[in-house]
Amino acid sequence: MVEDTQKPNYFENFKTEIKLRGYSHNTLESYVYTIDNFLKFTKKSPQDITETDIKNYLVYLQQGKNATNTTIHRHLNAIKSFFRITKNIVADNIKLPKVSQKLPGFLTIEETQKLLTSIENLRDRAIIQLLYACGMRVSELVDMNRENIEGNNIKIIDGKGSKDRIVYADEGTLKKIKNYLRTRNDNNPAIFINLKKERLTQRSIQRIVKYYSEQCGITKTVTPHTLRHSFATHLLQNDADIMIIKELLGHSNLATTQIYMHVTNKRKENIYTKAHPLSTKKIN
């Protein structure tokens, strides 16, 4: 960490600004950690940083830390945000090659059914089914309280980017949650708790998803985010409006949602083959 005597107000100002701009807590912590390490590397005060210092740091990440292009982009974004907030344009002209967007992994409908039907534990089935039913982030599920469920509406409070939204769950999923809650005799407001009657952590839920996917013989790597990807993919496959999916996922930008469009390409080809007059030989 940078010595406290070297970083008085600018760190607090930076944290305050990114909070006001709606950045999530995780992003805030990541950015502060990045800037702290960057300043430690340069051994300079922010006002003395040059463009060369920033480039040297990025080279250090690439060659000294074997960082991926995605990681280097993330560090540069944090640095750019920091200097823009401090009214310094030193980082604005630094460009990096675009990172190719990785297609999300997802389960087929058959794999999803296989996973869900293999779980006998009431709590764990409710956890995994809710992740898939609503497409919520694991952080959002961890933060959920009983009061967030009203009918078949589930209110996601202060999701990524500090945006509240409403998602929906089917009757079967809601029934499983209610059956699980009936087994509880505690006052913890959290929807899901551990044996110590404490709110489950993201890490615990990740382990639960991994365990059951391996137990039922799915060879893909399955995480809570895989279930979120599966949610979006299956809705698209069944002709759901991409703008509605965007809202359900809590995306700020439609481009983020459009990555799921890859799964419909084969389907579009089939529709074309069946419908276009040249393909159906209605025009010779």
Q: Which residues are catalytic?
A: 137, 160, 225, 228, 251, 260
Tokens linked to 163: 């945006």
- Determine the Cα–Cα distance for residues 26 and 34; give it in Å rounded to an integer: 12
Instruction: In whole angstroms, give the CA distance from residue 76 to residue 56.
Output: 12
Is the distance from CB of 73 to CB of 96 less than 8 angstroms? Answer: yes
DSSP conformation class of 276: S
If you write DSSP's letter for every residue of 149-175 in order, what string do you get?
Answer: EETTEEEE-S-TTS--EEEE--HHHHH
The one-letter code for the residue type at 62 is Q
Q: Say which DSSP state 65 is in.
A: S
Any idea what DSSP says for residue 262?
A: G
